[in-house]
Amino acid sequence: MVSTRDIGTTRGRRRRHRELRSIVPLLLVLALIAAACGQATEDTTTTTGADAEPPATTAAAPDTTTADTTDTTATTPSDSGPVTVRLGIAPGPSVGIDPVLINDEAGLSLLGQTGEYLTFSDSELNLRPVLAESWESNDSLDVWTFHLNPDATFHDGTPVTAEDVAATFNGPISTGNAGSAYETYAFTAGNAEALDEQTVQFTLDRPSGAFPFFTSSDNYNAVILPASFWDTYEAGAYEQSFIGSGPWINESYEPGVSAVYVKNEDYWGDNANQPDRLEVTFFESETPLVTAFQGGALDVAYRVSFTNADTLEAAGNVTQSVPTAQHRQVYMDASTPPFDDVRVRQAVGLSIDRELYVEGLLGGFGVIGNDHPIWEFFPMFNGDAVEQRTYDPDAAQALLAEAGYPDGFETRIDAPQFAEVENLATLLQQSLAAIGIAAEVNVVDTDTFYQDYWCAFPYEGPCAPGAQSSIGIVNYGHRGVPDVYLGAPALSDGQWNASHWVNPDYDELFAEFSGAPSIEAQTETAGEIETILHEEVPFVVPYFIDFISVTVPNFTGLEVTGMGHFSLLNAGFTD
């Protein structure tokens, strides 16, 4: 696995880089590119709704080891009374707190306060035991057995049993947002079996060395809840009880406004250092969140952009930046002209100045991508497989001419209103213009984007193969391993294959990668996967993104993962 030292070194390197440079404002970047294109930065975007985190699932890497309402009053240190932490999130959960339906950062972060997972995927790509004490597989990696912690209990005092685990994985989450995780890890609902009170066995449809990550916080819908909850499950039912085994008990929840939690005094684990109360306030966007933080109404800004992080840090607050595998995929409809020609897709990749994108859009809080989703910190990343694709507009124009488009063509860029994605769409528009591709930018709210533009099987309406010749931008949240990135959006029948790319050779490589018995074997196959994705370019991966949080200067102990989970088990205030 990636070591703390390796990721820590990168954080320090990025921090020094930020201190030694002046940040290039985004508008200046756009203006420079527009000037290079010989045209003005005309605003062709349309926006509605609030930005939000797109759907996600799970990922994995071989691991068979056994592991040991806003209150503006000041928060007080623990030695002078009860401790309350005030945390702000923008925006709030898009579909409420429902383990089957949650598909955004805000929702998963709150679900993980009352609910827990068999295992936890942390910011260093380690898999920690939680409700499961240990796990192992058979020799063929298609049967996995998990042994539960005998001390684990739900909020009502009843023990967490293998029957509860089996009911969770055999139940409704398989038909909800976690569906692509089931596909990726070859698990079919109904194939989880309680062998005894504390032992549960999963039988897979094919080998998967990364399967433990399917049971982890990466598969954030899979919080373990009582079998009785699943027996009577209805959408929205979770908000009536917030039952779970976690360190927090929900006191109140007002959709779109706030959530309040109190310390679980009977928590089965160690929460001696946990604060007494957690007050979460939801904001429609980042601007009012930052204003509330500056006004002293918040102790933690859960996720902010680099520009606001710099502003808040300059005022004496503390920035916490976590390198992550979260990335944007710029997909192209490979089923219809002009993007059915690989030379056109390669030209799009060559049109992007990736370093400029990372600096202008992320302020250096990220690393450049190479048109495949195997992040450089993943242990199976094969750095020798392909050369880094670089900015080369002349080569891009030559490829377009070879493909029969010497004068370029017109297309559309569809994107959700989320984080920096709208600005990415505009920057991409200018990059494409420089090689002769005229792209209209269409930015819509996330619900509309994922319903009407981002294409999942079965394809219908405007998402049907051949029904559009557009480019789209989709977000993929962090995972502890790349399996879900390599499966759902790239397999010929992948649930998230928005590019409609079909390649049987790739499908075979993915099966080989998934069933590899060691990191060494995975790394070899990963090189072949990196190569075929780099050459075929069903989607462009311009960069990977850091997760940035800000806290008041006397607050310590916040743990945030790249996925968006946060923990306050060891958090508190200093004098």
The predicted pLDDT at position 493 comes to: 86
The predicted pLDDT at position 75 comes to: 47
Question: What is the percentage of the chain residues whose pLDDT exceeds 70?
Answer: 83
Is 312 in contact with 294 (CB distance < 8 Å)? Answer: yes
Q: Is 312 helix (H, G, I), strand (E, B) or coil?
A: helix
Exposure string over 160-199, b if 16+ CB within 10 A, otherwise e: bbbbbbbbbbbbbbbebbbbbbbbbbbbeeebbbbeeebe
Checking if the pLDDT of 221 tops 60, the result is yes
Nearest to 180 by CA among 522, 498, 547: 498
Q: Which residues are bridge partners to 510 per DSSP?
A: none
Whole-model pTM: value is 0.83
Is 389 in contact with 534 (CB distance < 8 Å)? Answer: yes
Amino acid (one-letter) located at 274 = Q
Residues 6+ apart with CB under 8 A from 392: 350
Distance, in Å, from the CA atom of 249 to the CA atom of 277, rounded to the nearest integer, reads 10
Domain boundaries, the chain: 4-42+324-545, 75-94+246-323+547-575, 116-239
Q: Which residues are bridge partners to 280 per DSSP?
A: 87, 259
In the numeric block, the tokens 């192209």 are attached to: 332
Q: Which residues are bridge partners to 573 per DSSP?
A: 555
Other CB atoms within 10 Å distance of the CB of residue 234: 10
Other CB atoms within 10 Å distance of the CB of residue 154: 22
The predicted pLDDT at position 29 comes to: 43
With bands split at pLDDT 50, 70 and 90, how would you rate the model's confidence at 42? very low
Pairing between strand 555-556 and 572-573? Answer: antiparallel
In the numeric block, the tokens 């002349």 are attached to: 394
In the numeric block, the tokens 């557009």 are attached to: 470
Checking if the pLDDT of 20 tops 50, the result is no
pLDDT tens for residues 27-38? 434 443 433 333
pLDDT tens for residues 556-569? 999 999 989 999 99
Checking if the pLDDT of 432 tops 70, the result is yes
Q: Is 480 helix (H, G, I), strand (E, B) or coil?
A: coil
pLDDT tens for residues 371-413? 999 999 999 999 999 999 999 999 999 999 999 999 999 999 9
Question: What is the percentage of the chain residues whose pLDDT exceeds 90?
Answer: 74
The predicted pLDDT at position 468 comes to: 53
Residues 6+ apart with CB under 8 A from 71: 84, 86, 279, 297
Is 106 in contact with 96 (CB distance < 8 Å)? Answer: no
The predicted pLDDT at position 7 comes to: 41
Q: Identify which has the larger pLDDT, 447 or 555.
A: 555
Mean pLDDT of all residues belonging to the chain = 85
The radius of gyration of the chain from alpha carbons, rounded to an integer in Å, stands at: 23
Nearest to 378 by CA among 4, 120, 14, 61: 61
Domain at 116-239, CATH homologous superfamily? Dipeptide-binding Protein; Domain 1 (3.90.76.10)
Is 418 in contact with 42 (CB distance < 8 Å)? Answer: no
Q: Which long-range contacts (CB under 8 A, 24 or more apart) does 7-12 make?
A: 7/123, 7/124, 7/323, 7/377, 10/323, 10/377, 11/321, 11/323
Two tokens, residue 152: 């684990």
Checking if the pLDDT of 313 tops 50, the result is yes
Other CB atoms within 10 Å distance of the CB of residue 2: 18
Is 66 in contact with 27 (CB distance < 8 Å)? Answer: no
Is 485 in contact with 469 (CB distance < 8 Å)? Answer: no
The predicted pLDDT at position 514 comes to: 93
The predicted pLDDT at position 79 comes to: 53
With bands split at pLDDT 50, 70 and 90, how would you rate the model's confidence at 249? very high
Q: According to the CATH classification, is domain 75-94+246-323+547-575 in 3.10.580.10?
A: no
CA distances from 277 to 79, 290, 300, 381, 569 (A): 15, 22, 14, 41, 12
Distance, in Å, from the CA atom of 339 to the CA atom of 157, rounded to the nearest integer, reads 57
Two tokens, residue 247: 């360190």
Checking if the pLDDT of 4 tops 50, the result is no
Q: Is 35 helix (H, G, I), strand (E, B) or coil?
A: helix
Is 69 in contact with 259 (CB distance < 8 Å)? Answer: no
Q: Which residues are bridge partners to 327 per DSSP?
A: 476, 544
Q: Which residues are bridge partners to 474 per DSSP?
A: 329
Q: Is 366 helix (H, G, I), strand (E, B) or coil?
A: strand
Pairing between strand 84-89 and 277-282? Answer: parallel
The span from the first CA to the last CA of the chain, in angstroms, equals: 37
Phi and psi at 561, nearest 5°, equal -100, 165
Mean pLDDT of 524-539: 98
The predicted pLDDT at position 289 comes to: 97
CA distances from 90 to 99, 109, 236, 568 (A): 20, 12, 21, 19
CATH class of the domain at 4-42+324-545: alpha beta
Q: Per-residue DSSP letters for 400-419?
A: HHHTT-TT-EEEEEEEES-T
pLDDT tens for residues 56-101? 333 333 333 333 333 333 444 445 678 999 999 998 898 889 999 9
With vertex at residue 356, the alpha carbon angle to CA 400 and CA 49, rounded to the nearest 5 degrees, is: 90
Phi and psi at 286, nearest 5°, equal -70, -30
Distance, in Å, from the CA atom of 189 to the CA atom of 174, rounded to the nearest integer, reads 6
Q: Specify the range with the lowest mean pLDDT, choosing from 51-60, 343-352, 512-521.
A: 51-60
Q: Specify the range with the lowest mean pLDDT, choosing from 36-50, 255-269, 555-569.
A: 36-50
The predicted pLDDT at position 453 comes to: 80
Which DSSP state fits 23?
Answer: P
CA distances from 482 to 1, 372, 379 (A): 13, 10, 10
Distance, in Å, from the CA atom of 339 to the CA atom of 405, rounded to the nearest integer, reads 11
Q: Give just the sign of the alpha carbon dihedral 443, 444, 446, 451.
A: negative
Other CB atoms within 10 Å distance of the CB of residue 533: 25
